[in-house]
Amino acid sequence: MPRLKLTIAYVGTNYCGWQIQAFSRRPQPTVQEELERVAERVLGTPVRIFGSGRTDSGVHAEGQVAHFDVPEDKADRDWQRTFNAMLPDDIAVLDVERVASDFHARINATGKIYAYSLWLTRRYTPPRLFPFVWATGPVDVAAMDAAARHLEGTHDFSTFRNVGTEVETCVRTLRSISRSPHGPLPGADTPDYARVGIPLQLTWYFEADGFLKQMVRNLMGTLVACGTGKLSPDAVPSLLAACDRAQAPATAPAQGLSLARVLY
């Protein structure tokens, strides 16, 4: 059967994450359920949609990827229009592509990029940004950059992994941690943000060949601990070497995180 690759954006605030929870008693749906519901209604048969991986409850996506199979006579349908007409407003299909029938959204992924945004004053958070940032207050960006340099590379990331998912190894290659430059604010073209004058939103990007459970949120929690003076960047190598989650600072909140892109 023809296979379709979906690129999906969502605001995760009202979802219990990407993946369908077995035996869930929670009232919130998952993004996967919403997509499957549309596909099933169109195809008249149960459909499984395979994502590149889970996102936690409350985490957003700008470029989640998933695949599913459709009968040949339904393959050329305008699936993007169909999905976007029937999905809730907080989920959008950005792109639909016909791919080889052995393409697999999870298995073929060669890497992922996650974005994590901070808001750097505690005086106020702009209501538009509230669902998408962690309002940490001011941070020492240079200290965070120094800590980031220790985290990049191939390591056992057990220290930054929450338990709950079986994995064969905790070794991952964190290709890069970068951040947005001190440039204009998103929304800087509106007069009132412009007068703030300094960039109060900063976004960090984490690119790796794969991520462990809550790894980005745990890495970000450690970067912010360095940025707020609670942890020295020099302590990061021993933290990493300890392979002990209990030693690392607290997990950063879900709302600042977004799955920016899946690489193939």
Binding positions for a second copy, rule: CB under 8 A: 7, 9-11, 60, 62-63, 80-81, 84, 89-94, 113, 115, 123-128, 130-132, 180, 186-187, 189-193, 203, 258, 260-261
Q: What gap in Å lies between CA 109 and CA 98, rounded to an integer?
A: 16
Tell me how far, at minimum, the Cβ of 186 lies from a second copy, in Å.
Answer: 5
Q: Which residues does 176 contact at the CB level (< 8 Å), separation at least 6?
A: 152, 205, 206, 207
Active site residue 56: yes
- Which positions ≥6 away from 152 have C-beta within 8 Å? 174, 175, 176, 177
Nearer to a second copy, 5 or 60 (CB): 60
Nearest approach in angstroms of CB 36 to a second copy is 18
Residue type, 67: H
Contact 4, 70 (CB under 8 A): yes
Instruction: Note the residue count of the chain.
Output: 264
Ligand-binding annotation for 193, yes or no, is no
Q: How far apart are CA 91 and CA 18, in angstroms?
A: 11
Question: Are 235 and 176 in contact, with CB atoms under 8 Å apart?
Answer: no
HSE-up (13 A, CA, CB side) for residue 170? 20
**Residue 43 in tokens:** 């195809």
Using the minimum distance from each CB to a second copy, give the nearer residue, 164 or 183: 183
Closer CB to a second copy, 187 or 253, in the complex: 187
55 vs 158, which CB is nearer to a second copy? 55
Q: Exactly one of 56, 69, 140, 209 is catalytic; which is it?
A: 56
Q: How far apart are the C-alpha atoms of 36 and 51, rounded to whole Å?
A: 11
Burial (CB count <10 Å: 0-12, 13-18, 19+), residue 31:
buried
Least spacing, CB of residue 87 vs a second copy, in Å: 9
Between 60 and 161, whose beta carbon lies closer to a second copy?
60
Non-local CB neighbours of 213 within 8 Å, separated by 6+ positions: 161, 162, 163, 164, 165
Least spacing, CB of residue 195 vs a second copy, in Å: 9
Which residues are documented as binding site? 114
* Residues acting as catalytic residues: 56
Which residues are documented as binding site for substrate? 114
